[in-house]
Each structure stands twice: as structure tokens, then as C-alpha cells.
């Protein structure tokens, strides 16, 4: 069992197919989100302060995620009744209606995704899995129980991946506020050295700017 818990899916892998019980009924992942991006995020436990702040933060940004064709799914190893009562508590006490589903995991999902780390206890760590419309894992993040996530960064990740996919570009550090090139994006370097002169010609023509042949950038 411990070996299974330590399995970790890799970037570029297909998200493993699974049927899950949620606060919105049974769901199939990734099938029910075919053609959409989705984020599956785990939290250690219901009725805990850091997790409560995280669910409120996600809900406050849910419309922004949906504008990006991206859905949200929460998860912990609590029972579905605990999820439902916790969601009710958040609504009654914080006036925030958690509208995305929460998976009630018996341990099978956590084992498949490798999100119970024995060195951090028996509950799920704060994992984030960003999955694209083809069902492939594009980003994986892990946070310890004591550290709440930065949800603006998770939103930025989805935006950046979508822009990169659409335009065939890469995104610099801290995009769109990079210290060197601001909100511009990186033109991937040519793997063929014979094309370097052509690359400089394109730079001279104003298609993009370059620090060197391997570091070119442009506005979208």
C-alpha cells in the first residue's frame, strides 16, 4: 500500500480515468470534462482553517476559471456528508456558496495520484493537478498542510498554458510582469543551427527582438 501511495503521475501523462463520488453526485474523470481544462486540487481535511480559506479563494475566482473554459474539483479523504456539512457551514458563516464539486475519496484516488505523503501524515497534501482538454497533465504542484496556496498563481498558470499552446510560445518568469521583457513572450529557440541566420533576419525585420539567437521574444 505504501508503494502505491508514493506513485506520482508525470507531466504529459494522461490523467488516470476514475469514477468518483462528489458533492454533486458521481463523476467520471477526465471524461466528464472532455474538451475543457480542469483543476483537481486536494486539501488535508474539512473543518480546518487553512482549507477553509482556500475554498473561499477558489470560489471567489471560479468565474475567472470558467471564463478560461476551466472547471474545478476539490478532494479530501473525508466522507461526502462531511463535505456537504462543511460547505453548508461556509455558506452560513462566511456567506460564500461553494459551487464546484468536492470528491469524497476512500483512498483510491489519493493512492492513484500519490498525494498522501507519509512524511507529512495520513491526510492528503495540498496538491494541484492542471489537466488540459485532451486529458493530459500539464502542471502538478504540491504544498504542505501548513502552507495555503496562491490562487492567483494557479489562475496565471492556466492563462499562460493556454496562451502558450495557442501561439507556440513560452512564458518568462513572473509573466506578465517579467523583469527583463515585461509582458512579452519567448520565441522558442531553433534546434537547427543552420537556421540561425534566418532567425536574425526575422529579428532585423521586426518580427521579434533578441538578446541572442537562443533568447528571442515578442509581443503577442
Q: How many separate helices (H) and strands (E) can be counted in the chain? A: 7, 10
Query: In whole angstroms, what is the distance from residue 37 CA to residue 134 CA?
Result: 8
* Distance of alpha carbon 29 from alpha carbon 40, whole angstroms: 10
| Dihedral sign (CA 118, 125, 103, 4) | negative
Sequence length of the chain is 220
Mark whether 70 is an active-site residue: no
At 134, is the secondary structure helix, strand, or coil? coil
Which is catalytic among the residues 51, 70, 210, 216?
A: 51
Measured CA angle at 128 (ends 135, 26), to 5 deg: 60
Q: Active-site positions?
A: 51
Amino acid at each position: 500500500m505504501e508503494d502505491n501511495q508514493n506513485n506520482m503521475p508525470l507531466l504529459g501523462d494522461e490523467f488516470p480515468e476514475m469514477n468518483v463520488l462528489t458533492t454533486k453526485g458521481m463523476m467520471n474523470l477526465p471524461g466528464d470534462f472532455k474538451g475543457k481544462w480542469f483543476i483537481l486540487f486536494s486539501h488535508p481535511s474539512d473543518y480546518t482553517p487553512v482549507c477553509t480559506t482556500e475554498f473561499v479563494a477558489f470560489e471567489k475566482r471560479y468565474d475567472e476559471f470558467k471564463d478560461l473554459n476551466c472547471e474545478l474539483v476539490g478532494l479530501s479523504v473525508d466522507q461526502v456528508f462531511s463535505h456537504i456539512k462543511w460547505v453548508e457551514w461556509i455558506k452560513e458563516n462566511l456567506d460564500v456558496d461553494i459551487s464546484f464539486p468536492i470528491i469524497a475519496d476512500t483512498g483510491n484516488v489519493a493512492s492513484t495520484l500519490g498525494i498522501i505523503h507519509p512524511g507529512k501524515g495520513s491526510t492528503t497534501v495540498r496538491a494541484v493537478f492542471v489537466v488540459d482538454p485532451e486529458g493530459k497533465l500539464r502542471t502538478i504542484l504540491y504544498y504542505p498542510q501548513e502552507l495555503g496556496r496562491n490562487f492567483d498563481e494557479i489562475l496565471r498558470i492556466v492563462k499562460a498554458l493556454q496562451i502558450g499552446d495557442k501561439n507556440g510560445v513560452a512564458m518568462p518568469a513572473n509573466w506578465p510582469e517579467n523583469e527583463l521583457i515585461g509582458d512579452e513572450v519567448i520565441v522558442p529557440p531553433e534546434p537547427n543551427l543552420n537556421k540561425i541566420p534566418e532567425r536574425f533576419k526575422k529579428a532585423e525585420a521586426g518580427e521579434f527582438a533578441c538578446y541572442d539567437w537562443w533568447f528571442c521574444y515578442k509581443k503577442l
